[in-house]
Structure formats: C-alpha cells, structure tokens
Amino acid sequence: MAPRQFRRKLNKMPKNLYKLIELLLSEIMPPSNQSPTSAYDKCYYFVKTEFSLMPLFYRIPIYILIQLFFFYCFIVSGCSSFNSLTQAKQKKLVTRWEKLWHPGYILFRLIRNLVYLCYFSQSATEIKKARSEDSFQASYCLTMPSMLSCDVLVIGAGVGGTTLAHELISAGIDTLLIDEGPFIKDIYQRPAFQNFSDVWRCGGLTAAFGKPPIAYAEGSCVGGGSEINSGIFQSAPAELLNELAKKYSIEEFNSVTLQAYYEKAEAMVNAQYLEPKLDSLTLEQAAHQLNWKGTYLKVAQKNKVKQSMCETLLPAALDKGLRLIAQCKAKKLILKNGQVTEVRAIATDHTGQKHTFRIKAKSVFVCSGAIYTPYLLLKSGIKKNIGRSLQMHPTLKTLCHFKNPVSQEASSVPSYAITEFMPEIRIGGSVMSPTFIAMSIAEDWKNRHELLNKMNYCGVYYAMIKPESMGKIRYIPGCKDPLVTYKLSGTDWAQLFKGLDYLQQTMFAAGATQVIPSVENHKGWYEKTSLDTIKTLKQNTFNLMSIHLFASCPMGEDKAQCAVNSFGKLHDYQNLYINDASIIPEALGTNPQGTIMALALRNAEHFIKTRSSE
C-alpha cells in the first residue's frame, strides 16, 4: 500500500466509532437529552477531526487499538458487530476492555476526553455559524503560486515572531511574516472544541515519548502560544539570568540589561494585576495558613479581554505596512555558502487549495517555537546543537473537590501562585471552566464520575517543576511532524514527588475534601498524606503535561553547546536567525512569554543597529 493511501485509510475511522461515542455520551447526557442526534453528530465529527490531526506516530497505534477493540467485541459477543449489541452489553465490553489491557484504558481515556470536551462546549450549529461569520481572515491567505521577496522574512507569527516583526516594520524594514496556521478573529468567542481543532498544534494531541509520555501544548495559528496560554506575564528570576549568562557565555543577558526590555514588553500587552477571584483566593488562603510565600502574577488583559498578539502587536504592525501570509508553511531552507538563498513554502487559500512558492529574503528569522524551529532546521540539513537540549516544565495536576464553589468562568485561570519553592517548584491553578473540569473527570471515569454533578465545587490545581533533564527532537523523513522524546531524571522525579506533596498540603489547607492526583486508577486522598506514601506511586502511572517549552536551540557564544550567538544568529551562518523560546538556554521555572518578548525586543534592536552600521 502506498504511503498516501495508507494515510487516507488512517483518516477513515471505523463506522462503529459513532456507536461508541453514542455510548460514552450516554454516561453524561441527562435522560431528557437522549433522543437528539445533534450531540452525537457533533462529537463524532470532532473526534474524527482530532484523530486526523494527530501526528502519525500517535495516529497509527490509535487506529490499531480501535480496530482491535471492535475485533475483541466481535469475538467475545459471538460474532456480533458492536453496533448490533444492546447498550448494556456495549458498556460491559468497554469496561472489560479497559481492565483487560493498559493500552485499552489509555484509548478510552483519550476518546472520553475528546467527547467531554466537545459536549461541554457549545452546540454543533455554532460550528457553521462561526465559519459563516468569516472568523478565518481569508484576506491574509495566498491565492496563487508566487515568487516573493523581502528584506526580512519571519517564519512563525507567535510571541517571538510577532514581537520581532513589529519592531522591524516600525524601523522601516520591509518585513514579511508567515505562519502555517490560520488568522482567526474573536478566538475567545468560539467554542472550545472548535479552537482545539483550528488553533492548537495537531488538535492539542501532542506528546513527548517517554516513561511516562509528557503531553505538551502549542499554538498553531497567527498569534501562536499567546492565543492559547493564560496570559500570565513574568520576568525570569534575576539570579537565574545571571547564572545562565555566565554558564553559556551570553552577552548583554544579565537581569539589569533585560529589565528595560521586560518593562517595554509588559506595557505592550498591558500586563497588570487583576482583581482576585475565588480560584486565586483559595490558593492565597492556603499559603497564609501554611506560612508559605506566594504572589499575584500580572496578566496580559484589558477590559476582560486577553491581550494576545492578535489583540496588540499584530494589528499595530499591519497598520505600519507589515505583510502577513497565514496558512503558509515553510517547508525547507535552501542553503548555499553559509547563507539562506531562498525559502520553499506551501500556502493554503480560503478554498483549501494548496500553492507552492518561493521566498527570497536578505535575512531569515525562524520563530516557529521550541519544537518546530529545530524541526525546520533539521529538515534543511542544519544539525549542530539543534534539537538535542529541549526542556519543558513537567506538570502534575490534581482534581480537587471543595465544600464551597470554586470560580468556573469561561477561561478562568488563578493569577495567584505559591512561590515558596521556586524556581524548582511552583504551585498554581489551571483553567477551571466546566469543559476542562469535565476533561479531568474523563481522565479516570471509573473513580471520578460522581464528581460530574458537583463540578461547581471542583477545581484543578498543579505542581510544576524546573527539570534538569533534556529531551530530543528528531526529523524522520516522510513524516510531517517531528518525533519528540523526553526522559525524566531521578532528580526530576524527586522534585515531582515533592511537588505533589506540597500540592496536596496546599489543597487540604484550602479546604478540599478530596484531592485526586493525575495518576492512573487513583481514588484520591480524603486527608493529608505523607511524602513517603506519595513516593510509592508508580512513575509510569503519572499523567504529566507541559505548556512551557524551551532550549532546543540554546543561545550563547560557546559554540560547543550553543546553536546561536547571544543575539539569535546561527553560528557559522550569515543571514539566519532564531527568535523564540528555543533560544532560552534552560527552563526558567516561570511562564516564558515575558522572557520571549524581552529577548525579541533586545535581538531586534541589535539586528537593526548592526544592519544600519553595515
């Protein structure tokens, strides 16, 4: 079978999947809502779309597991198809399959997560409504094959790329900004499940392989991570910046030098302290009771609207003459004599038609994030110190039940954090909308289903660590996505156990009646437990995640360990630069957006000065 035919086959999910989704929905839908099919249609369409967006490394085993499940049902039920069975028998088979085989448990955890995400978002009719209202900005799509030229090409319209493009166009430099994702207006008014498919990289279904795997999230749209993150704005600890400057021989990187850029970035996105809400007050109360240090964090927000790149710097840059092409993916950098001579790209227009074209630029900045920047460079044959030092913030969540309601606004994230143990460990809160609470319940339906009717009293809080371990990013010919691996060290596990200990102490001090860690088949704690008990948990049962990625192309003058110089220029290349989280040499222990913006402002200023002198 040809590779293209095989991919098409993977995108066609079994017809029995519709009946399976119908069964899973029956677990959560009120009896009065059992008759309409719109919810079934919506969830089936969403799950099918999400599976088609998954990287091939995950899609193949998922496809095989689904086929194996239906084959198992066929054999056990006496050669009857899954669709022909009663709902009671179907439910029994699902339960047996989950207990029988660990991959089966993982499969249904994934499908339940997607179904619950979709169901607790808005109705299927709003998918058509949102698209008919032209939320996709088609005017920024390329409509025909072209040969384009510019002074500076910026690949990736995330935090780093947009900040850089804004500074370059403000200096009068002809700048072209491209991004493989769509340009969507009013992103926050769209249903959550729709944004997962359109805005999140691979539908939000990405993970670094390891024991256990670590799920990570990236934006894949114009605005990048600023469109999906919490908007929390932090400076990196001064001691850490000074330490990194010395360790990696980074010029003009100390805390004093960067402070002015942090302040400028903060003003650009209107970062400010917000009025405390219940979810934040819960953490603050616990910190006071435990006599631990904590602080409120600034959030990029204005008039209750998150100040992402699409709300702030991008409109300003477009008004100044920035050229933007959305849904345009850089496929390869063409190199000759230490220079990028052209960039080959493929663009999708508003009808879905693809166009290949070339871009010639005097200087090229790759700003595609800590995963896809090294991936593009590796594809283009650039390998030295690329993709070998990826770091992230491994994070463990807990689902907590309280006596009193906890805030559940549409995108509420607590702005308070316990900083007693930083930078090694930070305690904070996650999104607490009904959709995301339901996904936490779906993670272990057997032990958590009773909380479905108590969601107003539930909150999701986390412990995040600054690791010492590193991951790797690999380019596999024929695959459109990179292979990411990450192995936690013994020290990292010690920090995770400590983090979970501090987290459960925090939650019980805050008044929680039950604390359920994101660990497979864990029934939760009803009272404070000990660190020794926590250490008995099996490492491969932890469900870890991260939304902060760093260090895959570290900066510094030490060519032995760094990919780029102190200002983002690739060593041994004349016109190629990187300007995103991948150049931050190590995980910071803080939210990275502020540091990414500060470095982008600093590096843009240096580029403009150097260019003028030349």
Task: Quick: pLDDT tens for 338-362.
Answer: 999 999 999 988 788 888 989 999 9
pLDDT confidence tier of residue 31, bands split at 50, 70 and 90: low
CA quadruple 168, 169, 172, 173: dihedral sign: positive
Taking residues 602-611, report their average pLDDT.
95
Give mean pLDDT, residues 229-250. 94
In this predicted model, which residue has the larger pLDDT, 407 or 217?
217
128 pLDDT higher than 60: no
Angle at the Cα of 453 (from 206 to 542), degrees rounded to 5?
Answer: 35
Q: Is the per-residue pLDDT at 36 higher than 80?
A: no
Number of H helices, E strands in the chain: 19, 24
Cβ–Cβ under 8 Å, residues 507 and 490? no
Q: Give the CA distances from residue 11 to residues 49, 52, 246, 259, 370, in Å, rounded to whole numbers and listed in that order.
A: 8, 5, 50, 49, 28
Give CA–CA dist 220/369, Å, rounded: 10
What pLDDT, on the 0 to 100 scale, is given for residue 11? 56
Q: Which residues pair with 398 in a beta bridge?
A: 461, 517
* Arithmetic mean of pLDDT over the chain: 89
DSSP, collapsed to helix, strand or coil, labels residue 386 as coil
- Most confident stretch, 101-110, 143-152, 461-470: 461-470
Query: What tens digit of pLDDT does each residue of 508-566 get?
Result: 999 999 999 999 999 999 999 999 999 999 999 999 999 999 999 999 999 999 999 99
3-state secondary structure of 326: coil
Secondary structure (DSSP) of 164-222: HHHHHHHTT--EEEE-SS--BSSGGGS-HHHHHHHHBGGGG-EEEBSSS-EEE--B-ST
Q: Is the pLDDT of residue 126 over 50?
A: no
Beta bridge partners, 234, equal: none
What local confidence, expressed as pLDDT, does residue 37 receive?
Answer: 63
pLDDT at position 408 is 62
The dihedral formed by the CA atoms of 322, 325, 330 and 333, expressed in degrees to the nearest 10? -40
CA dist 518 and 300 (Å) reads: 29
Res. 123: pLDDT tops 50:
no
Please, which pLDDT band fits residue 130 given cuts at 50, 70 and 90?
A: very low
Task: Answer yes or no: pTM beyond 0.85.
Answer: yes
Tell me if residue 433 falls in helix, strand or coil.
coil
Cβ-proximal residues to 377 (8 Å cutoff; 6+ apart), any chain? 333, 366, 383, 386, 387, 553
Judge whether 449 counts as a catalytic residue: no
pLDDT band at 435; cut points 50, 70, 90: confident
- Residue 261's pLDDT is 97
Domain boundaries, the chain: 3-119, 138-205+220-268+309-383+555-613, 272-303+394-546
Cβ burial 105-139 (10 Å sphere, 16+ → b, else e): bbbbbbbbbbbbbbbbbbebeebeebeeeebbbee
Give the pLDDT band of residue 134 (cuts 50, 70, 90): very low
| Residue 536 to residue 538: CA distance in whole angstroms | 6
Q: What value does the mean pLDDT take over residues 458-487?
A: 94
Q: Which two tokens stand for residue 561?
A: 């360990």
Pick the catalytic residue: 166, 393, 401, 548?
548
Nearest to 310 by CA among 183, 460, 459, 151: 183
Domain 138-205+220-268+309-383+555-613 in this protein, CATH class? alpha beta
> How confident is residue 164, by pLDDT bands cut at 50, 70 and 90?
very high
Specify the DSSP element, H or E, that contains 445: helix 445-448
- Beta carbons of 607 and 192 less than 8 angstroms apart: no
pLDDT at 10 over 60: no
The fraction of the chain above a pLDDT of 70, given in percent, is 92
**Calpha distance 518→359 (Å, rounded):** 46
- Separation in Å, CA 523 to CA 143, 447, 558: 54, 6, 49
What's the CA gap between 190 and 43, in Å, rounded?
Answer: 16
411: pLDDT strictly greater than 60: no
Tokens of 107: 């499969």
The one-letter amino acid code at 85 reads L
Q: What amino acid occupies position 28?
A: I
Identify the residue with better confidence: 25 or 581.
581
Provide mean pLDDT across the span 387-414.
Answer: 87
Region 277-295: mean pLDDT is 94
Q: Specify the fold of 272-303+394-546.
A: Glucose Oxidase; domain 3 (3.30.560)
φ, ψ for residue 515 (rounded to 5)? -125, 115
User: Does residue 14 register a pLDDT over 70?
Assistant: no
Of 19-33, 141-155, 374-388, which one has max mean pLDDT?
374-388
pLDDT, position 125: 38
pLDDT-derived band at 120, boundaries 50, 70, 90: confident
